[in-house]
Amino acid sequence: MSSKVLMKGAEALAEGAIQAGCRYYFGYPITPQNETPEYMSRRLPEVGGRFVQAESELAAINMLYGAACTGVRAMVSSSSPGISLMQEGISYISGSNVPCVVMNAMRGGPGLGNIAPAQGDYLQAVKGGGNGDYKRIVLAPSSIQEGVDLFVDAFELAEKYRMVVMVIVDGLIGQMMEPVEFKTQVDVSTRKPPEWAVSGRHGRDHANIITSLTLDAVELEKWNLAHQAVYAEVEKVESRIEEYQMEDADYAIIAYGTMARIAKTTVRLARAKGIKLGLLRPITVWPFPAKQMQAYVGKLKGALTVELAYRQLFEDVRLTLCDKMPLGWYGRGGGIVPGPQEVLTAFEEQFGKGR
Amino acid sequence: MEHNVVIAGFGGQGVMLIGELLAHAGMDEGKEVTWMPSYGPEQRGGTANCSVVIADEPIASPVLTNPQAAIIFNVQSFDKFEPVIEHEGLLILDSTLVEKKSARSDLDVVYIPATDIAQKLGSSKYTNMVLLGAYLGKVAPITMESVYGALPIFLTGKKTDLIEINKRALQAGVDFVSKK
Amino acid sequence: MAEEMKVIYERPTSWANKITHYCPGCTHGVAHRLIAELVDEMGLIDKTIGVWPVGCAVFGYNYFNFDSVEAAHGRAPAMATGIKVTNPDNFVFAYQGDGDLASIGMAEIVHAAARGWPITVIFINNGNFGMTGGQMAPTTLLGQKTTTSPLGRTPQVNGFPIRLSEMLATLDGPAYIARVSLDSPVNIRKAKSAFRKAFNAQVRGIGFSLVECLSTCPTNWKLTPVESMERIRKEVIPYFPLGEFKVVEGVL
Ligand SMILES: Cc1ncc(C[n+]2csc(CCOP(=O)(O)OP(=O)(O)O)c2C)c(N)n1
Ligand code: SF4
Ligand SMILES: [Mg+2]
């Protein structure tokens, strides 16, 4: 028990990134994740890293682009309006195969919206946001501990596939305190720049060039096809899901992040009433754990998607399970977080008493 | 088993601190805990609140729509939280600072002159501990030993000297509710 | 018997008579008051369109009885430009903090100033990002501790503060640029006269105008209101000297 510390989410995630080997952080303040850059400004110099407060999110993502081109572990974090500004950079970084990590502590929108917890950036995160045909891996922890643990995977996945990995949380995970344990320390002290990085030739027999520009249509199509193959591979092997009380379930709730931890209590409440409810919780929202969900076709009488947004996650659920079982949806927006009972009521309204 | 409580007052009254103390002590006992502050412009008016959940099972939401209990340090917070406390819940109120009375008959209400009690111990600074003591005396989600054990995390350096007096303040809160 | 009582002080009619959300001792309210007084005195209430920033003044639009819009963070000068282009006869001002204007919005302010079109900018320099909890701003002084310069700002780690008025005054576009301080009655009176010139530069169609206001943020400076005013005099004015940096002919 003694290795557990009580930490605010936005700080614990920052420490998690550092433990995963992140040494460079670029950011611009925005609530509800200001504690992340503030923590980085104190902590990174202690581990030989650098914190840079950028003049804007536009600058921050491009600083990250530069840093990551040299092959180091680096990241930015922001919240919804700032992440919108970063979309250009994310597209460029994706178009030039540079691995890095971007964290979004989602808040209520659109526009300035508010600073309360929300999941309204789901489609932006998983479907695009920036221009062009690219994908990024999107991890959606539902507790501070899971977020900390996932940071190790985030950097590894980014480097393995040379993709942008996005970690999406929300104001709730950012602001709350929970006990957390730092289990893995990645030692980056002896790391050499990877062979594709721009770090000066230093005797290398060729120059490395990192660019997202491919003027020739035939060449760009080749790039696209090669990356479609990478994305297909990622979809095949990297999707993750938590299946909670699903062994004998008649029905499932499908939810991720903060909404999923609330839905877990809904499952317990339902089970106490004799309803055989379980939870399917995507941990990767891209790649979407479609196969794992489709395995329940024929076993489930229905599934209720619950989210802090309006039919965004539901879009992926429909693509996965449409016509295969009755689907329901319940969501709240604007920063409102429904309680477990509210979700159960929604379930009962849409699926009867679950028998 | 899950215990949850909202703690609310002005910034500077040690509202957030006793919440953190409670959460820390819970963690040290091996329980699941969450601490959730009010954040952002909500704080501009000078009010502050936090919610603490202590449980045996993983905690769903750290946000409390209808808390089981509320520890209240000022009138604004009384007006905000008294109506939403769970049915038959607990309300602990610093009656030195809040003159209002609860109109709800279902609640267990403790009117404790916490600031007066703290002043008698030497300073109104210990009011928060007196109120926390009253809560712990009523609900006991964790042991007093765990709470005492967590005090040194918050009272370091020169403040180490204040550990004893803080314990006395906590105990005074416990005594107040157990007298009855 | 009693002489007829004279009104020597009253609430401006363009002021919406609401309690602001600013912290005690914050001079955002003083700048608001000056805007309201001048809009009244210059008879602009029906013509004014305010463009509000993202920062502590984000709710500025609630406090006035004239039309207002809320811009994205840093983009107020661009939005004001768009409004002025479609409504050249209106009085259009942007109100911006130092994070909003000198950090994320640097491109927009420089180009608005360079275009020189008649819009007015009230620029609140309080040396930090007030709204988000006191992070470093481009105007944070060397040595000043903020939540993202926890050991104090150093040139090596954080670069140097930006003197915005001086910088913009190098451009040919602006008609009027001044820096004032809101720390004392004398300086507030001077500030009002600078605001008036800035407003006039627009009303008389001369060109772009900006008034930088040295402002307090007692909450994040962790000082009392009185100490904050003193800090402006002792530490801020020496680095950010007061004065007019650009006054083209016809501005009065
Ligand atoms: C794109 C974007 N990035 C960041 C923010 C968060 N944010 C809100 S206000 C602010 C800075 C405010 O500082 P300043 O402009 O100096 O105004 P002050 O509060 O000090 O008056 C920031 C960074 C945002 N709303 N939008
Ligand atoms: S935080 Fe600072 S700038 Fe914002 S209202 Fe308070 S004193 Fe004013
Ligand atoms: Mg500012």
What is the per-residue pLDDT across A258-267, written as a single tens digit (0 to 9) for each? 999 999 999 9
pLDDT higher than 50, residue C82: yes
pLDDT digits (tens, 9 = 90+) for A33-78: 999 999 999 999 999 999 999 999 999 999 999 999 999 999 999 9
Residue B158, CB-side half-sphere exposure with 13 Å CA sphere: 0
3-state secondary structure of A208: coil
Reported residue count of chain B is 180
Note whether residue C198 is domain-resident. yes
CA B140, CA B151: separation in Å to the nearest integer? 17
Q: pLDDT grade, residue C225 (50/70/90)?
A: very high
Under an 8 A CB cutoff, do A32 and B40 touch? Answer: yes
Q: What is the mean pLDDT of residues A170-184?
A: 95
Residue of A nearest to C101 (CA): A55
CA C245, CA C178: separation in Å to the nearest integer? 6
Q: pLDDT grade, residue C193 (50/70/90)?
A: very high
CA C252, CA C246: separation in Å to the nearest integer? 12
The mean predicted confidence, pLDDT, of chain A is 96
The chains found to touch B (3+ Cβ pairs under 8 angstroms) are A, C
Paired with C209 in beta bridges are C120, C176
3-state secondary structure of A210: coil
Under an 8 A CB cutoff, do B61 and A265 touch? Answer: yes
CA B70, CA B77: separation in Å to the nearest integer? 9
What contacts C28, CB < 8 A, 6 or more positions away?
C20, C22, C56, C57, C124, C215
Equal fold, A5-199+225-237 vs A243-351: yes
The candidate with the shortest Cα–Cα distance to C212, out of C251, C176, C175, is: C176
CA B73, CA B113: separation in Å to the nearest integer? 11
The two tokens of residue A15 are: 């420490």
pLDDT higher than 90, residue B11: no
DSSP H or E stretch at residue A161: helix A144-161
pLDDT higher than 70, residue C2: no
The two tokens of residue A178 are: 């929970």
pLDDT digits (tens, 9 = 90+) for A112-167: 999 999 999 999 999 989 999 999 999 999 999 999 999 999 999 999 999 999 99
What are the sequence ranges of the domains in chain A?
5-199+225-237, 243-351
Q: What is the mean pLDDT of residues A269-279?
A: 97
pLDDT higher than 80, residue C117: yes
What contacts A349, CB < 8 A, 6 or more positions away?
none
CA A260, CA A346: separation in Å to the nearest integer? 15
The two tokens of residue A195 are: 């062979």
Q: What is the mean pLDDT of residues A83-92?
A: 98
Q: What percent of chain A has pLDDT over 70?
A: 99
pLDDT digits (tens, 9 = 90+) for C23-35: 999 999 999 999 9
Paired with A330 in beta bridges are A306
Question: A258: exposed, middle or buried (C-beta count within 10 Å: 0-12, 13-18, 19+)?
Answer: buried
Q: What is the mean pLDDT of residues B127-146?
A: 96
CA C190, CA C192: separation in Å to the nearest integer? 5
CA A93, CA C59: separation in Å to the nearest integer? 36
The closest residue, in CA terms, to atom 7 on ligand 2 is: C217
CATH number of the domain that residue C77 is part of? 3.40.50.970
The candidate with the shortest Cα–Cα distance to A78, out of A101, A57, A99, A48, is: A57
DSSP one-letter code for A347:
H
Under an 8 A CB cutoff, do B58 and A1 touch? Answer: no
Distance from the alpha carbon of residue B67 to the mean position of ligand 1, in angstroms: 33
For B97, phi then psi, to 5°, come to -100, -25
Under an 8 A CB cutoff, do B61 and A115 touch? Answer: no
Query: Residue A1: its pLDDT value, please?
Result: 40
What contacts A178, CB < 8 A, 6 or more positions away?
A6, A7, A9, A12, A143, A144, A145, B33, B34, B35, B59, B62
Please indicate if any CB of chain C lies within 8 Å of the CB of B41. yes
Mode of pairing for the β-strands spanning B32-37 and C176-181:
unpaired
Instruction: Render the burial of B2-23: b for 16+ CB within 10 Å, e for the rest.
Output: ebbbbbbbbeebbbbebbbbbb
The candidate with the shortest Cα–Cα distance to A77, out of A17, A118, A120, is: A17
Q: pLDDT grade, residue B45 (50/70/90)?
A: low
Say if residues B126 and B169 touch (Cβ distance below 8 Å): yes
pLDDT higher than 80, residue A185: yes
Question: A279: exposed, middle or buried (C-beta count within 10 Å: 0-12, 13-18, 19+)?
Answer: buried
Distance from the alpha carbon of residue C30 to the mean position of ligand 3, in angstroms: 15
For CA atoms C39, C42, C43, C44, give the dihedral sign.
negative
| Sheet with strand A164-170: strands edge to edge | A50-53, A24-27, A74-78, A100-106, A164-170, A137-139, A284-286
Show residues of chain A in contact with B35, CB under 8 Å. Answer: 6, 176-178
CATH topology of domain A243-351: Rossmann fold (3.40.50)
DSSP H or E stretch at residue A223: helix A217-237
Query: Residue A44: its pLDDT value, please?
Result: 98
pLDDT digits (tens, 9 = 90+) for A93-126: 999 999 999 999 999 999 999 999 999 999 999 9
CA A22, CA A130: separation in Å to the nearest integer? 24
Query: Residue C58: its pLDDT value, please?
Result: 95
Say if residues B128 and B3 touch (Cβ distance below 8 Å): no
CA B7, CA B12: separation in Å to the nearest integer? 13
Q: ipTM of the assembly?
A: 0.92
CATH number of the domain that residue B93 is part of? 3.40.920.10
Query: Residue C183: its pLDDT value, please?
Result: 98
Say if residues B10 and B46 touch (Cβ distance below 8 Å): yes
Residue of B nearest to A342 (CA): B65
pLDDT higher than 50, residue C159: yes
Q: What is the pTM of this model?
A: 0.94
DSSP H or E stretch at residue A19: helix A9-19
Note whether residue C194 is domain-resident. yes
pLDDT higher than 70, residue B15: yes
Please indicate if any CB of chain C lies within 8 Å of the CB of A274. no
Under an 8 A CB cutoff, do B36 and A175 touch? Answer: yes
> Is C129 touching ligand 1 by the criterion CB < 6 Å?
yes
Give one DSSP letter per residue of B106-121, joined into a string: SSEEEEE-HHHHHHHH
Say if residues A78 and A86 touch (Cβ distance below 8 Å): yes
Q: What is the mean pLDDT of residues A209-238?
A: 97
For B55, phi then psi, to 5°, come to -150, 165
Please indicate if any CB of chain C lies within 8 Å of the CB of A11. no
**Best probe residue, ligand 2, of C28, C54, C125 (max atoms within 8 Å of C-beta):** C28
Give yes or no for a cis peptide into A110 (omega within 30° of 0): yes
The mean predicted confidence, pLDDT, of chain C is 96
The closest residue, in CA terms, to atom 7 on ligand 1 is: A30
Number of structural domains, chain B? 1
pLDDT higher than 80, residue B39: no
Domain span at residue B70? 2-179
Number of structural domains, chain C? 1
Distance from the alpha carbon of residue C30 to the mean position of ligand 2, in angstroms: 12
pLDDT higher than 50, residue C21: yes
For CA atoms A207, A210, A215, A221, give the dihedral sign.
positive
CA A167, CA A105: separation in Å to the nearest integer? 8
Distance of CA B78 to the CA centre of its chain: 13
Q: Which amino acid is at A116?
A: A
Q: What is the mean pLDDT of residues C121-134?
A: 97
Say if residues A149 and A16 touch (Cβ distance below 8 Å): yes
The candidate with the shortest Cα–Cα distance to B147, out of B126, B159, B129, B172, is: B129
With vertex at residue C172, the alpha carbon angle to CA C167 and CA C176, rounded to the nearest 5 degrees, is 70
Q: Which ligand number lies closest to the CA of residue C26?
A: 2
Q: What is the mean pLDDT of residues B123-128?
A: 96
- Is residue C162 left, alpha or beta, with left meaning phi > 0 and alpha meaning psi from -120 to 50? beta
CA C52, CA A105: separation in Å to the nearest integer? 25
Residues in A 56-115 with any Cβ partner in C closer than 8 A: 56-58, 81, 111-112
Query: Residue A262: its pLDDT value, please?
Result: 94
Say if residues B11 and B47 touch (Cβ distance below 8 Å): yes
What contacts A47, CB < 8 A, 6 or more positions away?
A18, A23
CA A161, CA C147: separation in Å to the nearest integer? 36
Query: Residue A355: its pLDDT value, please?
Result: 55
Instruction: Please report the atom of ligand 2 found closest to the CA of residue C126.
Output: 3
Q: pLDDT grade, residue A352 (50/70/90)?
A: confident
Residue of A nearest to C139 (CA): A55
Helix/strand/coil (H/E/C) assignment for every residue in chain C = CCCCCCCCCCCCCCECCCCCCCCCCCCHHHHHHHHHHHHHHCCCCCCEEEEECCCHHHHHHHHECCEEEECCCCCHHHHHHHHHHHCCCCEEEEEEEHHHHHHHCHHHHHHHHHHCCCCEEEEEECCEECCCCCEECCCCCCCCCECCECCCCCHHHHCCCCCHHHHHHCCCCCCEEEEEECCCHHHHHHHHHHHHHHHHHHHCCCCCEEEEEECCCHHHHCCCHHHHHHHHHHHHHHHCCCEEEEECCCCC
CATH class, domain A5-199+225-237, is: alpha beta
Q: What is the mean pLDDT of residues C195-203?
A: 98
Lowest mean pLDDT segment, chosen from A145-154, A305-314, C2-11, C189-198? C2-11
Query: Residue A2: its pLDDT value, please?
Result: 52
Residue C161, CB-side half-sphere exposure with 13 Å CA sphere: 23
CA A4, CA A135: separation in Å to the nearest integer? 35
With vertex at residue A268, the alpha carbon angle to CA A267 and CA A271, rounded to the nearest 5 degrees, is 85
Lowest mean pLDDT segment, chosen from A325-334, B8-17, B107-116, B135-144? B8-17
Q: What is the mean pLDDT of residues C214-220?
A: 96
pLDDT higher than 90, residue A22: yes
**Best probe residue, ligand 2, of C132, C147, C219, C227 (max atoms within 8 Å of C-beta):** C219
DSSP H or E stretch at residue A11: helix A9-19
Please indicate if any CB of chain B lies within 8 Å of the CB of C131. yes
As for ligand 2, residues whose beta carbon falls within 6 Å of it are C 22-23, 26, 28, 56, 126, 130, 217-220
